[in-house]
Amino acid sequence: MQNPTVLQLLLGRELRRLREARGWTLSEAVEVLGNQATKLSRLENGQSSVRPLDVRILCEALGATAEETAWAVETAKHCNQRGRWGGHKSIYRKYFRMAVDLEQDATVINNYQAEIVTGLLQTEDYARVVLTALNGPYSHETVEMGVKARLERQQVLTKPDPPQANFVMSESAVVRQVGDNSVMCDQLEHIIEVAKRPNVHVRVLPFKARTFTPEVVFPFQMFRIQSPGKARPLEVVYDEYYDDGRYRDDDESVTTYGNLWQRLVGAALDPAQSTEMLLGLLRDRRQN
């Protein structure tokens, strides 16, 4: 069973598909749920859960098949789960939690990182240095919770039927000193090893890349999740700022970021060339 956040998003998309297939506007469909316009709008956007009974009524009014209705009702039952962000998982900032959920259920993850190695590829020691810098020297427990949560996230790359994970990292991310030389050597070795997995492609965007992409100051991720039935795959873009993150699933944003991603891939070294570059950086560090 997929996690509640993703189920909520998928349910909303499926209900929107059924409504549009019926030819109803949002205002026409609202009457089925007692004129709760805000409720239906938020539901279709994956921003709120709903009672299974309301979902059944809505599906029947929209002419859904018995199979479609059964899936929607069952999904609604699991959208209300709570308590998943306790313990070490509580370390995640609230705006980042949906990204963690999307990672877990994605079939494709495209990840761009500009300044440091992306969290899904960090070693334990590298992550500890980064999280210490973020949380300060007097929050050992917070840092260790963060390290544990980050390592747990990385299991998505090695689970049964893992996603296709594509990474583009600026040369800055693999050259910038984080921790001592030992930490950096271990980190470079780790990226090289993970990149050998058939579901992982790592590309480095070199300083001398012919294509300059000034738009990518902040990191971003793109997720693709298979939808049920006739609905298109769920595609979500997540871009992150210093103290906030933004999610977009409208067609225009998905297309714009998809084009940007293709430009980055085109400008970056291919996976084999990237590995050669990482091996060269590793040799240089070992000699120093």
In terms of Cα–Cα distance, which of 181, 191, 210 is closest to 285?
181
Cα–Cα distances (Å) from 261 to 47, 114, 223, in that order, read: 27, 13, 12
Could you say which DSSP state residue 268 is in?
S
The percentage of the chain sitting over the pLDDT mark of 70, rounded to a whole number, equals: 89
For domain 87-287, give its CATH number from 2.60.40, 1.20.1250, 3.30.870, 3.90.1070.
3.30.870
pLDDT in tens, 240-268: 887 788 898 888 999 999 999 999 999 99
Q: Per-residue confidence at 38, pLDDT binned at 50, 70, 90?
A: low
Topology given in CATH for the domain delimited by 4-78: 434 Repressor (Amino-terminal Domain) (1.10.260)
What are the residue ranges of CATH 1.10.260.40 in the chain? 4-78
> What is the rounded distance in angstroms from the CA atom of residue 72 to the CA atom of residue 79?
11
Higher confidence at residue 288 or residue 143?
Answer: 143
Q: What count of other Cβ atoms lies within 10 Å of the Cβ of residue 87?
A: 10
Q: What confidence category does residue 193 fall into, taking pLDDT thresholds of 50, 70 and 90?
A: very high
Average pLDDT, the chain: 87
Mean pLDDT of all residues in 115-121: 96
Segment (H or E) for 102: helix 97-105
Give ranges for CATH 3.30.870 in the chain. 87-287
The single-letter DSSP state of residue 107 is S
- The tokens for 94 are 């609230």
Stated pTM of the model: 0.83
Specify whether the CB–CB gap between 236 and 247 falls below 8 A.
yes
Residue with tokens 């699933």: 249
